[in-house]
Structure formats: C-alpha cells, structure tokens
Amino acid sequence: MHPATRQGATEALGAHTIAMAATFIAFGVATREAGFSLGWGLTSSAAIYGMAGQMVLLGAQPGAGTAAVAGAIMANARFMPMAAALAPLVRGPLAPFCVPFVAITPWAAAMRNLPGLPAPDRARWFLGFALTVWTIGLITTAIGYALAGSLSSGVLRLLLMVNVFYFALMIAAGLSRGGPWRASLGGALAAPLALLLPAGTPPAWGLLAAALIGGTAAFLLRRR
C-alpha cells in the first residue's frame, strides 16, 4: 500500500467515523423495520452513500419509482458543489476514482488535510480515507440491521443525528479559530426559509434554496 493511502486509511479511524457509523447503524435498523432486505440496505449505503438520500428512498411510498429516485438525488445534490470544491486539490489519473466517495465525512477531512500534502499524494490519501469510511458504513449498516428490534425509537433518532451534531461542533470549533463565519451565519439564517415552502414541495428543495440564498449572501458580504 502506498504510504499516502495508508496514512489516509489510518486517519479515517477517528471520532468523525464513529459519528458517521452511528447514523449507518440507525439506517440499518430502519431498513429492517421498513421490511427491506439486508441486501437492499447494503446496496443503498454503497451506491447512494449519503444519509439524506438514503432516508428519502427508504421512506418513499410503494410505487413511487422515478419520484423516489429523483428525491434521493435532490437530497444529495449538495455533493456537486462539494466535488467542485475538492477538484482543484485532487488531480491526476486517480482523480476520477475519488468522485463516487465524495460525502460529508471524507470531504470535510480532505478539505482540512489535503492542502498540507504533496500534490501527487492527495488522491491516494483521499482514496485511503474514503474507502475506509465507506467500508465502515457498510459494516455498520449490517450491524444496525442485526440490532433491529433491540433499540428504541428515541435511540434511533439520536443515532441519526450524531453525525449532524458532530459537524455542528466542528463548525463551532472552526469559528473559534477564525473560520468562515459568514458562510456559517448565512446558512443558519437561511435554513428556516425551508419552512416557507408550499405544502407538497419536496424537503430537498428547502435545503437547496437555503444553501443558495445563504451562500450567496455570505459571498456578497465577504466581497463588500
């Protein structure tokens, strides 16, 4: 194994991955309680690899078909700007292999660590990190599936939110060190706009609208 790949895999074994694993355990439990097979849950975790999209697909009504898939894609539309932000840091022949593994946990770690690595090692580091957390996501989905029936609904809701809480604390820690306060403030103020959407509008539209409005406001504020 290339040293950069080994370094990425080693650094993946931290608090961020524990937080992510908690959400995949909850997803595994929810998959079984919804009547889906373990294979369905593992395929969802492997191919979608984004909890918002996975939960949209899991909660879709029978026969939803294309609408359910479209909802899952919209819920994970945030990965597109994340990939665009990552692209300048990861170049070379291995860069295309990094795209399927862009998710919040590996992306946040990459944006923090890649600038300090030699350019030829960045894609290898990212793949080592991302493949490790992706594999852990599959394992913990199976663990959750096996635990179905032994966890209360309150515990499940808490597990689903652990990753959110973790990254909220990371943002707060970043702000205390002079991080991007305009973007954080814009997101926080724009998020309630999702509550103003007309009835029947997919919730994912609220996420996209809040991000567009809050992010644009933060960008303009910084330019000013």
Confidence class for position 129, pLDDT limits 50, 70, 90? very high
| Residue 29: both structure tokens together | 């439990």
pLDDT tier at 179, thresholds 50, 70, 90: low
> pLDDT digit string (tens) for 89-126?
998 899 999 988 998 889 989 988 999 999 999 999 99
CA distance to 188, 203, 206, per residue, from 193 (Å): 10, 11, 7
pLDDT digits (tens, 9 = 90+) for 35-94: 899 999 999 999 888 887 888 778 765 665 666 677 677 777 778 888 888 999 998 899
Please report, for the chain, the start and end positions of each structural domain, with discontinuous segments joined by +: 3-163, 180-224
Apex 13 CA angle, 37 and 114, nearest 5: 110
Give the rounded distance of the alpha carbon of 209 from its chain centre: 18
Q: What is the pLDDT of residues 195-214, one digit of tens each?
A: 777 776 666 677 777 878 88
Q: What is the pLDDT of residues 161-171, one digit of tens each?
A: 887 788 777 77
Q: Choose among 171, 170, 147, 175: nearest CA to 159.
A: 147
pLDDT at 114: 93
Q: What is the rounded distance in angstroms from the CA atom of residue 60 to the CA atom of residue 200? A: 14
Task: Give me 40's structure tokens.
Answer: 């369905």
Mean pLDDT within 174-196: 77
Question: How far is it, in rounded angstroms, from Cα 222 to Cα 204?
Answer: 27
Res 204: pLDDT: 64
User: What pLDDT is recorded for position 51?
Assistant: 83
How far apart are the C-alpha atoms of 113 and 7, rounded to whole Å? 11
Most trustworthy range by pLDDT among 14-18, 35-39, 70-74, 180-184: 35-39
The Cα–Cα gap between 61 and 8 comes to 39
| pLDDT, the chain, mean | 85
Burial class of residue 140 in the structure, from the number of CB atoms within 10 Å of its CB (0-12 exposed, 13-18 middle, 19+ buried): buried
